[in-house]
Amino acid sequence: MAKKNAGVQVDSDSAYLFSDSGSCDFKMEYKFRLNKLVFICALFVVISMVYFGFFFSDKVCALSNFKSPSCSEVSLRTPTPEHVVKLLSLLSDPFNSKLPNPGLSYDEIIHENFQFDMNAHDVMVFLHIQKTGGTSFGRHLVQDLDLQRPCTCQKKRKRCYCFRPNRNENWLFSRYSIGWKCGLHADWTELSSCVDAELIKNEGDSVKRRYFYISLLREPISRYLSEFRHVQRGATWKNSRHWCGGRVATEQELPKCYPGVVWSDVTFDSFTSCPYNLANNRQTRMMADLALVGCYNTSSYSKEDRDQILLASAKKNLANMAFFALTEYQKIGQYVFEETFNLRFAVTFSQHNSTLSNAVLATLTKDQIEKIRRLNSLDIELYEFAKSLMFSRFNKLQMRDPQFEERWNHLGELPNKTEFNWDDAIDDETTKTTSDT
C-alpha cells in the first residue's frame, strides 16, 4: 500500500493565481512538496508576474491565455498587480504560518493510486454544507457501508463509533461519528486548520494521518430556498464559529440579520434583503479558503475581487477533494464514492426531488427569483463547474470499470447484505433544531 505524507500541498495560498482547475488535468497543478526550492521558484514566478503586471500589463493577459482551450472556461480572470502584491504578502512566510491541511487530492488518489486504507491512518473528513442533503449522506456513511467492522451506533446519542478494524481509532470525521468537533457545519477553512489538531488531541500524534475530504453540493436556488424554509422553522446555526485566521469572526464582521433569538417569522423579502445573510453564496464561502481574502473582514478587497478570489479558491478546493457529489445526482454520487474509496454501500441512494423548494419556488415572482440568482451568482457558477467536473470523473471511472453495467444496475445490492437496523432515530429536518442538516 502506497504511503504518503498528508501535508503535501503548500499551494492553497498561491495556486489559484495560476490554477486552471476543472476538467484540466491536475497533473499540471502545483503539488508543491514542502520544499523550499520549489517555494523560491514560486516566489520568483510571482515576482515576475508583478513585474510584468506593472510594466507590461498586456503581457499578463498573454500569459494568462497561455493555457489549453479546454481550460479557459474555468480559468480565473487575469490577476491585476494589486492582487499579486497582496498575495505576495500572504505568501511571504508559509513555513512559519500554520498551513491548512486539506488532505489528499482526487488526482493523487486516482492517478497515484493512494487507496483509502482503513487499516492504516486514513481519515475521511465530511464537509457538510447546510441543506445539501448531507444528513442523509452522513447517515449512509455511518450505517450503510459494508465494512469489515461496521460502525456501532447508539440511538440516543445519535452518535456512532466508526473505528478501524484493528484498533479503536476513528476513520471518519463527521457529525455522526465524531460530532461537530471543528464547529457546527464547519467549512473548509475551519476543517483544514482543525481536523488534524483535533485528532492529535484525541488519538495522539505518533502517526501521520492522511485526509480524504468529501462533500456535497446542491443546485443553489433549491438550496437557498431550503435554507430559507429551515430558518423559518427556527434554525439559526448561531453556534457556528466562523473560525478563520486563528479566531472566530467578530460581531462587527458578521452582523446579525435579526434582533431576536430566531428568525422564524422572516418573510422572503427580508430574508433576501439582509446583506449579511450567510445563506448567500454559502457553498462558495464554505468551500473556499477564507484566509485568502482576510476572512470575514471585507475591507481588504473590493467586493468584486473578493468574489473572484473566493470563487477561484472554492473551485480549486472542490476539485482537490477526494470526493464530492451533487444532491441532484444521487446514483452517480454513490457510484463515484464506491469507486473512489473502494467501499460499497448496502443501500441504493434515493433521489428525493425537492418538492418543498419547488413549492416555494412556485409562489415567487420573477423578480424574486432573479434576486436569488443575483445573491447566489458565485454558487451558481461553482455548481456548474462542479457538475462538469463530476461528469468528467464519472465518465473516467466508468471507462476503466469492466463491470460497469453490472455495477450500475445493482448499486447498493451486496452479495450478502446484512440487515442493519438503525431506523429513523436521526430525524431529518422535521424538528426545530439549530444543528440539523
Which residues belong to the active site?
185
The answer to whether the CB of 183 falls within 8 A of the CB of 128 is no
Helices (H), 65-155: 69-72, 81-91, 106-111, 134-143
353 touches ligand NAG by CB under 6 A? yes
3-class SS letters over 263-281: CCCCCHHHHHHCCCCCCCC
Q: Which is nearer to ligand NAG, 299 or 421 (CB)?
A: 299
Q: Is 299 in the site for ligand NAG (CB under 6 A)?
A: yes
Contact 144/359 with Cβ under 8 angstroms? no
Q: Which of 351/434 has CB closer to ligand NAG? A: 351
Report the residue number, 86 or 210, with the smaller CB distance to ligand NAG: 86
Out of 351, 388, 395, 431, point to the residue binding ligand NAG (CB under 6 A): 351
Residues in the chain: 437
Q: Is 168 in the site for ligand NAG (CB under 6 A)?
A: no
CB of 216 to ligand NAG, least distance (A): 17
Measured from the CB atom, the residue of 107 and 429 that comes closer to ligand NAG is 429
Distance CA 73, CA 200 (A): 41
Cβ closer to ligand NAG: 250 or 388?
Answer: 250
- Contacting ligand NAG within 213-232 (CB under 6 A): none
Region 384-423 residues binding ligand NAG, contact defined as CB under 6 A: 415-416
Q: How many CA atoms lie within 13 A of 4 on its CB side?
A: 22
- Of residues 177, 400, 240, 216, the one with CA closest to residue 321: 216
Q: How far is the CB of 299 from ligand NAG (least distance, A)?
A: 4
How many Cα atoms occupy the beta-carbon half-sphere of 280 within 13 Å? Answer: 16
Asked if 96 is part of the footprint of ligand NAG (rule: CB under 6 A), the reply reads no
- 435 CB neighbour count, 10 Å cutoff: 16
Q: Which helix (H) or strand (E) holds 303?
A: helix 303-320
Question: In 3D, which of 11, 1, 7, 6 has the Cα closest to residue 319?
Answer: 11
Beta strands in 218-313 (DSSP E): 243-244, 247-248
Residues 231-290 that bind ligand NAG (CB under 6 A): 250, 252-253
Applying CB under 6 A, among 78, 264, 297, 435 the residue interacting with ligand NAG is 297
Kindly tell me which of 206 and 416 has the beta carbon lying closer to ligand NAG. 416
- Residue 57: φ, ψ to 5°: -60, -25
Can you give the binding site for ligand NAG, defined by CB under 6 A? Answer: 250, 252-253, 297, 299, 351, 353, 415-416
